[in-house]
Amino acid sequence: MPEIKKPRYQEPPLPEIDVEEFRKVVMTRRSVRRFTDEPIPEAVLQDCLDMALLAPNSSNLQPWEFYLVRSPEKRAAMAKACLNQNAAKTAAELIVVVARTATWKRHSTEVLEHWPEETIPRVVEEYYKKGAKVHYGRLPLDPMGKVKKFIRNVAGLSRPFPRWPNSQSDMELWACKSTSLAAENLMLALRAHGFDSCPMEGFDEKRLRRIVKLPSDALVLMVVGAGRRAENGIYHAQIRFNRDRFIHEI
Q: What is the CA radius of gyration of the chain?
A: 22
Are 75 and 69 within 8 A, CB to CB? yes
pLDDT of residue 9: 81
**Using one digit for the tens of pLDDT, what is the confidence trace for 60-87?**
999 999 999 999 999 999 999 999 999 9
Domains in the chain: ranges and CATH: 30-101+174-242 (3.40.109.10), 105-168 (no CATH)
pLDDT at 250: 96
Per-residue model confidence (pLDDT) at position 10: 85
Residues 6 or more apart from 209 whose CB is under 8 A from it? 218, 220
Confidence of residue 3 (pLDDT cuts 50, 70, 90): low
DSSP state of 60: G
- 14-45 burial, b if ≥16 CB within 10 A, otherwise e? eeeeeeeeeeeeeeebbbbbbbeeeebeeebb
Supply the pLDDT for residue 4: 63
Residue-wise pLDDT for 100-125, tens only, equals: 999 999 999 999 999 999 899 999 99
**Res. 5: pLDDT tops 80:** no
- pLDDT tens sequence across 181-237: 999 999 999 999 999 999 999 999 999 999 999 999 999 999 999 999 999 999 999
